[in-house]
């Protein structure tokens, strides 16, 4: 199988499995236990926290381990809203993931919040000027903008937006799930107060993630109960996941500094050949301001579901967009926000690569895609 759906999930690296292995067997003690057998577990968790902090360029104590990006974002939104009950206005991007859209829509419907959803242009880019205009001094409780879009890879101007939020004293939340491990990040320099991450997006295990909370920000926990995570996230820690997340973060940091090539050149060559060889094909989103591994392409006269089936038969795994929308009959809100109509949005495929993706794999994927588009069009002609 040629796997080109790394934005949905990534295979765990062998070194991650190796790091986790002792915690399947001998290191089974509850990490909150006072017995000597808990010490190696506590040390492993502390090391993992340091490894994740090194990848993100933040302090270890600024991280809260969570079940993933969705929990982290819900926790951040909960914290900023319950601490400012007098502020009833939220600003989010129109292309946010459901992990932001969902809780914000709930607050809008059931708690009476007003929500501004910032528009994007045809390339999926948000203008800082639009954000400045949307801010309501003394009323805006939070701004939430994703770092890298999960469907198109488009990058928002996070540093500029966070600086604007800080100038107005507004907490800034970013969904950095699709950015971590794919590009160098410095939370220390970014200006954001809250950032969410998920381990399975960069060769870690599923079911583990982290929420960054800037050290000078107050935090109101979403999950109540025990004293774990410095009283910020109750519940027995997912030791296996935490250790695996730390190992994945270490590998990602090593890859950044090792000179291992990003998949950008392969992606760009693939896109160029697709647009050259397949009539009626178009690229979605900015081709300059995006993460290196993501390509969103649409094919006139085709439907994504049919193309994915034909590609699957040819040994290529891609996607129609977010895994959270698999099976939905609705077009992608990301693509419609960019101005695409129903037919164009439903004809879009996402190809997401890894550093390990080879040129030979991309060549075979290209041939399979050319065949699949031709086959689909012949069937509906």
Confirm if 296 and 95 have CB atoms less than 8 A apart: no
- State how far the alpha carbon of 71 is from the alpha carbons of 45, 228, 342, in Å: 20, 16, 31
Average pLDDT estimate for 237-258: 95
Q: What is the pLDDT of residues 167-182, one digit of tens each?
A: 999 999 999 999 999 9
Share of the chain above pLDDT 90, in %: 94
* CATH code 3.30.457.10 for 2-9+261-380: no
Name the average pLDDT for the chain: 96
Average pLDDT estimate for 36-55: 97
Confidence band for 330, pLDDT divided at 50, 70 and 90: confident
pLDDT at 316: 98
Q: What is the pLDDT of residues 20-30, one digit of tens each?
A: 999 998 999 99
Per-residue pLDDT at 327 exceeds 70: no
Confidence band for 270, pLDDT divided at 50, 70 and 90: very high
Range of lowest pLDDT (72-76, 78-82, 104-108, 256-260)? 256-260
- Give all strands (DSSP E) within 58-183, no chain letters: 63-66, 89-93, 114-118, 140-144, 172-175
**Does residue 224 or residue 324 have the better pLDDT?**
224
Residues near 212 by beta carbon (within 8 Å), at least 6 away in sequence: 56, 58, 62, 63, 187, 192, 194, 195, 196, 197
Active site residue 324: yes
User: Which residues share a beta bridge with 5?
Assistant: 352
- For CATH 3.40.640.10, the residue range(s) in the chain are 14-256
- For CATH 3.90.1150.10, the residue range(s) in the chain are 2-9+261-380
The two structure tokens encoding residue 234: 């109750």
Range of lowest pLDDT (54-58, 104-108, 222-226, 324-328)? 324-328
pLDDT at 328: 60
pLDDT at 329: 65
Instruction: Give the CA count within 13 Å in the CB-facing half-sphere of 183.
Output: 19
**Whose CA is closest to 64, among 182, 215, 254, 281?**
215
pLDDT at 258: 77
pLDDT at 341: 97
Per-residue pLDDT at 87 exceeds 80: yes
Q: What is the pLDDT of residues 210-233, one digit of tens each?
A: 999 999 999 999 899 999 999 999
**Whose CA is closest to 260, among 9, 23, 13?**
13
Confidence band for 321, pLDDT divided at 50, 70 and 90: confident
Which alpha helices (DSSP H) does 259-381 contain, by range? 264-277, 304-313, 333-337, 342-346, 359-380
CB atoms within 10 A of CB 356: 15
Per-residue pLDDT at 111 exceeds 80: yes
Q: Rounded to an integer, what distance in angstroms lies between the CA atom of residue 328 and that of residue 305? A: 10
pLDDT at 381: 79
Q: What is the pLDDT of residues 191-213, one digit of tens each?
A: 999 999 999 999 999 999 999 99
Of the listed 35, 58, 302, 324, which one is catalytic? 324
pLDDT at 261: 79
* DSSP symbol at 260: P
Which CATH class, in words, describes the domain spanning 14-256? alpha beta
């Amino acid at each position: 199988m040629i796997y080109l759906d790394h934005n949905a999930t990534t295979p765990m690296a062998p070194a991650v499995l190796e790091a986790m292995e002792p915690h399947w067997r001998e290191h089974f003690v509850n990490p909150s236990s006072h017995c000597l057998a808990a010490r190696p577990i506590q040390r492993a968790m502390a090391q993992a926290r340091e490894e994740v902090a090194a990848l993100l360029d933040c302090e270890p104590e600024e991280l809260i381990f969570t079940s993933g990006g969705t929990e982290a974002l819900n926790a951040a939104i909960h914290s900023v809203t319950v601490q400012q009950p007098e502020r009833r206005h939220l600003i989010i991007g129109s292309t946010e993931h459901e992990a932001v859209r969902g809780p914000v829509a709930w607050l809008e419907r059931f708690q009476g919040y007003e929500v501004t959803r910032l528009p994007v242009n045809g390339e999926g880019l948000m203008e800082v000027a639009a954000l400045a205009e949307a801010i309501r001094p003394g009323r805006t409780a939070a701004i939430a903008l994703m770092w890298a879009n999960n469907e198109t890879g488009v990058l928002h101007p996070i540093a500029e937006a966070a600086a604007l939020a800080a100038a107005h004293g507004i907490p800034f939340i970013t969904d950095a799930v699709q950015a971590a491990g794919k590009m160098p990040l410095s939370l220390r320099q970014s200006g954001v107060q809250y950032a969410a991450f998920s381990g399975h997006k960069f060769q870690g295990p599923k079911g583990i993630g982290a929420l960054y909370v800037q050290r000078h920000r107050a935090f109101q926990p979403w999950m109540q109960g025990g004293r774990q995570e410095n009283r910020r996230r109750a519940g027995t820690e997912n030791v296996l996941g935490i250790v695996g997340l730390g190992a994945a973060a270490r590998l990602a940091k090593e890859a950044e500094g090792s000179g291992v090539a990003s998949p950008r050149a392969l992606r760009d060559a693939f896109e160029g050949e697709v647009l050259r060889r397949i009539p009626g094909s178009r690229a979605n989103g900015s081709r300059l301001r995006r993460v290196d591994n993501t390509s969103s392409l649409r094919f006139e006269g085709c439907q994504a579901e049919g193309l994915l089936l034909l590609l699957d038969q040819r040994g290529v795994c891609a996607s129609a967009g977010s895994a959270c929308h698999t099976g939905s009959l609705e077009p992608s809100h990301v693509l419609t926000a960019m101005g695409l109509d129903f037919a164009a949005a439903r004809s879009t495929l996402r190809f997401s690569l890894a550093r390990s993706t080879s040129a030979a794999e991309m060549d075979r994927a290209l041939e399979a895609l050319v065949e699949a588009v031709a086959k689909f069009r012949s069937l509906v002609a």
